[in-house]
Amino acid sequence: MGVAGPPDPEQAPAVRRALDGLGFDARSIQALFGTTDLLRLALVGRPLLAYRARGNSALACLGRLFFLEQPEPLHDAVRLIGETPLETLRNAGLLAIDGTFVMPSIRLYLEGELRLVGDLHGSHRPELADFVLGPGPVARMLADLALPGSFANILDLGSGCGVLGCLLAGRSHNVVCSDVSPRAAAFSRFNAALNGIENLRAVEGDLFGAVAGERFDLVLCNPPMVMAPTAEYLYRDGGSEICARIVREVPEHLAPGGCLQMLCNWPERAGCDWRETPRAWFDSTDCDAWLLRFHSLTAEGYADLWLRQQPDGTSRSAEAIGRWVDHLTAIVADRVGGGLVILRPRAHSQPLRTLRSAPHVSAPAGAALQRLMRAQDCLMATNDDAQLLESRLQRAPELEQQITLNIGQAGWQQQKRELRLAGTLGFSAMADATTLGVIAHLDGQRTLAEAAAVYAQQIEVDPHRPVAGLAPAVRELLRLGMLTPV
Ligand SMILES: C[S@@+](CC[C@H](N)C(=O)[O-])C[C@H]1O[C@@H](n2cnc3c(N)ncnc32)[C@H](O)[C@@H]1O
């Protein structure tokens, strides 16, 4: 199968009308394949997907072409899709006719309400170094981690097919998708047009080269962060160096109060603090920085993870794993850490720095991230315990208390009580009975001292008693975003 060029944005409105007419949307394709997770279709397995899409309908035919990348006999495609819609998809460059068969030229995805195109999985091979990734679970995760609210200007840096820019376009006046690859920029232009998005501009350039002098309120970036032994793919093989470069260069492009949110990978050395490399990135800026470490993989596990995504069998050999492990060993990476960086112009007299393991983050967590940042701002601005006690604080809405009971001689006995940010950042913290009692009375109106007084009254003790020793525990809950200022 030859590699198709990007589709023509001029044709996108006609494609949209054709797909509307055929009822091609997320709900109908989810029903066809029997799964709501169209970004992880591979988990279902090809034989079962092919079985489910075996029918004689336009949707089944489109499902086979665009999701299974399966050729369709021309006379069947004409009968099922109709001559005019088929011609529209062909004119735009989504389908090609080869003899008596119709073939997909690019892959069509459904992501939320959006229809997006990317390169065919079948064209994922080193000869196509500028392979354009379609939407996937990693981009979805970053979109779900995006801070809430609207932003005057958003930059989708290393935009690929423009998935992040398209997903966030409704929350901004102006979205710029920038990518070093002209093919990627062309895919972004088509995708914006296909979804009727008019506030998105796709530009070409190395990192910030195409947006010199521009500042953004939100920069989202899923960079080519993979630490591979050879640079095969533009979308993948920039290593931790490109993450370091982005941290260095982004401050010039952040509007006051603006943020970078970037996924990243970095090397970790056995016996050393895992924070070593990312901390050095942050030392090159005067910005406030947060790093949440989602995972840390052994060199072997990292090699296996990435080689599993190669389409051709040979590249998944034991020798290939060996090459990756040797490369990682040579650059002193016993393990590879992965996570999210948030960078913002410094908001206090000293830069704020948080580097923390967060292995249980579950999306959407953008609002929880914003609460974490506000809570830490409050801590930075609070000089002493007296000021803290006068603060009006509230509990994070997803805060839960977990009580663990163990069975013993005397039956079930309480082992520990833990506070937990359930379903967002996943942080947990031990808390004593007094802290738990006081924070239960934080209602958004009361100060911490007032909540402590209400609790003292409830348990009938001296009003000053709960206050003693409360401040360090409350500081820790603020540090974790479990409490936030009102
Ligand atoms: C992992 S892909 C992300 C694509 C898309 N944003 C997503 O989340 O699916 C990384 C993208 O960065 C682009 N890229 C690689 N090097 C770059 C550079 N130096 N400057 C700008 N973009 C670059 C690649 O072409 C690719 O589209």
What pLDDT was estimated at residue 463?
74
Structurally, how many domains does the chain consist of?
Answer: 3
What's the whole-number mean pLDDT along residues 395-407?
A: 94
User: Is the CB of 181 within 6 Å of ligand 1?
Assistant: yes
How confident is the model over 59-106, as pLDDT tens digits? 999 999 999 999 999 999 999 999 999 999 999 999 999 999 999 999
What pLDDT was estimated at residue 469?
82
Q: What percent of the chain has pLDDT over 90?
A: 86
User: Is the CB of 160 within 6 Å of ligand 1?
Assistant: yes
Task: Please tell me whether residues 344 and 387 are part of one structural domain.
Answer: no
Which three-class secondary structure string do you get for the chain?
CCCCCCCCHHHHHHHHHHHHHCCCCHHHHHHHHCCCCHHHHHHCCHHHHHHHCCCCCHHHHHHHHHCCCCCEEHHHHHHHHCHHHHHHHHHCCCEEEECCEEEECCEEEEECCEEEEECCHHHCCCCCCCCCCCCCHHHHHHHHHCCCCCEEEEEEECCCCCHHHHHHHHHEEEEEEEECCHHHHHHHHHHHHHCCCCCEEEEECCHHHHHCCCCEEEEEECCCECCCCCCCCCCCECHHHHHHHHHHHHHHHEEEEEEEEEEEEEEECCCCCCCHHHHHHHHCCCCEEEEEEEEEEEHHHHHHHHHCCCCCHHHHCHHHHHHHHHHHHHCCCCEEEEEEEEEECCCCCCCCEEEEECCCCCCCCHHHHHHHHHHHHHHHHCCCHHHHHCCEEEECCCEEEEEEEEEECCEEEEEEEEEEECCCCCCEEECCHHHHHHHCCCCCCCEHHHHHHHHHHHCCCCCCHHHCCHHHHHHHHHHCCCEEEC
Q: Give the number of the atom of ligand 1 that is nearest the alpha carbon of residue 142.
A: 8
Task: Please tell me whether residues 141 and 274 are part of one structural domain.
Answer: yes
Q: Is 121 domain-assigned?
A: no
User: Is the CB of 155 within 6 Å of ligand 1?
Assistant: no
Angle at 192 between CA 191 and CA 197, to 5 degrees: 150
Nearest CA to ligand 1 atom 11: 158
What pLDDT was estimated at residue 420?
96
Closest residue by Cα to residue 145 from 365, 372, 371: 365
pLDDT confidence of 434, banded at 50, 70, 90?
very high
What pLDDT was estimated at residue 308?
87
Residue-wise burial string across 395-407, b where 16 or more C-beta atoms lie within 10 A, e elsewhere: bbebbeeeeeeee
What's the whole-number mean pLDDT along residues 261-273?
A: 96
Task: Please tell me whether residues 417 and 333 are part of one structural domain.
Answer: no
8 Å CB contact between 359 and 294: yes
145 C-alpha to center of ligand 1: Å? 18
Q: 139 or 415: whose pLDDT is higher?
A: 139
Q: Is 391 domain-assigned?
A: yes
Task: Please tell me whether residues 386 and 359 are part of one structural domain.
Answer: no
What pLDDT was estimated at residue 315?
65
User: Is the CB of 448 within 6 Å of ligand 1?
Assistant: no
Q: What average pLDDT is seen over the chain?
A: 94
Q: Is 130 domain-assigned?
A: no
187 C-alpha to center of ligand 1: Å? 12
User: Is the CB of 180 within 6 Å of ligand 1?
Assistant: yes
From 366, 390, 409, give the residue that closes a domain: 366
User: Is the CB of 163 within 6 Å of ligand 1?
Assistant: yes
- Residue 128 predicted with pLDDT over 90: no
Decide the pairing of beta strands 101-104 and 95-98.
Answer: antiparallel
Q: Is 24 domain-assigned?
A: yes
Q: Give the number of the atom of ligand 1 that is nearest the alpha carbon of residue 130.
A: 25
User: Is the CB of 391 within 6 Å of ligand 1?
Assistant: no
Closest residue by Cα to residue 434 from 464, 414, 405, 412: 464
User: Is the CB of 241 within 6 Å of ligand 1?
Assistant: no
User: Is the CB of 238 within 6 Å of ligand 1?
Assistant: yes
Task: Please tell me whether residues 334 and 442 are part of one structural domain.
Answer: no
User: Is the CB of 165 within 6 Å of ligand 1?
Assistant: no
Q: Is 54 domain-assigned?
A: yes
User: Is the CB of 235 within 6 Å of ligand 1?
Assistant: yes
User: Is the CB of 179 within 6 Å of ligand 1?
Assistant: yes
- Residue 144 predicted with pLDDT over 70: yes
What pLDDT was estimated at residue 313?
54
Nearest CA to ligand 1 atom 6: 159
186 C-alpha to center of ligand 1: Å? 13
- Residue 117 predicted with pLDDT over 90: yes
User: Is the CB of 139 within 6 Å of ligand 1?
Assistant: yes
- Residue 382 predicted with pLDDT over 70: yes
Task: Please tell me whether residues 345 and 202 are part of one structural domain.
Answer: yes
User: Is the CB of 159 within 6 Å of ligand 1?
Assistant: yes
Q: Is 283 domain-assigned?
A: yes
Let me know if 149 is exposed, middle or buried by CB neighbors in 10 A (0-12, 13-18, 19+): exposed
pTM above 0.75, yes or no: yes
Q: Domain of residue 74: give its range.
A: 9-112
What pLDDT was estimated at residue 4?
75
Pocket residue to mutate for ligand 1, from 157, 180, 253, most atoms within 8 A of Cβ: 180
How confident is the model over 322-368, as pLDDT tens digits? 999 999 999 888 999 999 999 999 999 999 999 999 999 997 999 99
Task: Please tell me whether residues 179 and 221 are part of one structural domain.
Answer: yes
What pLDDT was estimated at residue 2?
57
Task: Please tell me whether residues 301 and 430 are part of one structural domain.
Answer: no
Q: 461 or 152: whose pLDDT is higher?
A: 152
Task: Please tell me whether residues 92 and 236 are part of one structural domain.
Answer: no
5 C-alpha to center of ligand 1: Å? 18
Task: Please tell me whether residues 389 and 359 are part of one structural domain.
Answer: no
224 C-alpha to center of ligand 1: Å? 6
